[in-house]
Copies of this chain bind each other. A is one copy, B any other.
Amino acid sequence: MASGDSVSPPAAPRTPPLTDRPELAARTVALLRTKSALFDLDEAEARCIVDYMRVVNLPRGATVFREGDAARTDHLLLILAGDVSVDMSDGDRVDGLPVSVLGPGSVVGEMALLDGGPRSATCTAMNDVIAAGISRAGLQRLAHEHPQVALRLMVAIAQRVGDRLRALGEQLRLYARLNAEQAARLAELERR
């Protein structure tokens, strides 16, 4: 930390281990537990995962992830408190396209973590957010030390990605319906 002559970007600030904060650890266990048709993630497994996580505090307005960022893709977050907005840029529109708002129990940042691709959306803390973070290295260590637990975590993550896919499908349906209505109205006006 004393060296100031490095040209590489500063390392992510060290955040405390989640086990340092028993009340947050308990909350994480409760939120990690997942009913699945494939494998449930139970309390003992959730406790095991907590050992690999760190506390991440994000003040209101903080950018959690920035769309297109290909550098910082090495961790995912489980939101414990607060809300995160997910927005995609939309060409010239300054404000971007709101995709969703995610609250406690939601996982963000898993896609870039998995495929190493750039962040697919910008996530912003809408209020003070507390999250539990796990890094790629942490996940790999978990997989080595507790493969059955890592598998269940991955199922829980895949299921949450699936939930978002279902939600985005609904949103697409709404847009398509709106498009069809607008097109009909346009055709009517242009006939006049």
Residues of chain A having any CB pair with chain B under 8 Å: 36-39, 73, 88, 90-91, 93, 97, 99, 110-117, 120-121, 136, 139-140, 143, 147-148, 150-151, 154-155, 157-159, 161-166, 168-169, 171-173, 175-180, 182-183, 185-186, 189-190
Contact = CB atoms under 8 A, between A and B. Distances in A.
Nearest to A171: B172
Given A90-B177, A91-B177, A189-B186, A159 B114 contact: yes
Interface majority SS (helix, strand, loop, mixed), chain A: helix
Contact of A114 (B116, B162, B171, B185): B162
State the copy count for this chain: 2
Contacts of A177: 90-91
A113 B37 contact: yes
B158 A88 contact: no
10 nearest A-B pairs in the assembled complex, by CB-CB distance? A37-B116, A158-B158, A175-B175, A182-B182, A147-B147, A111-B162, A154-B154, A151-B151, A189-B189, A161-B161
Interface-centre pick from A150, A177, A180 (highest chain B CB count, 10 A): A150
B140 A39 contact: yes
A33 to B, nearest CB: 14
B39 A90 contact: no
Contact of A121 (B114, B150, B169, B176): B169
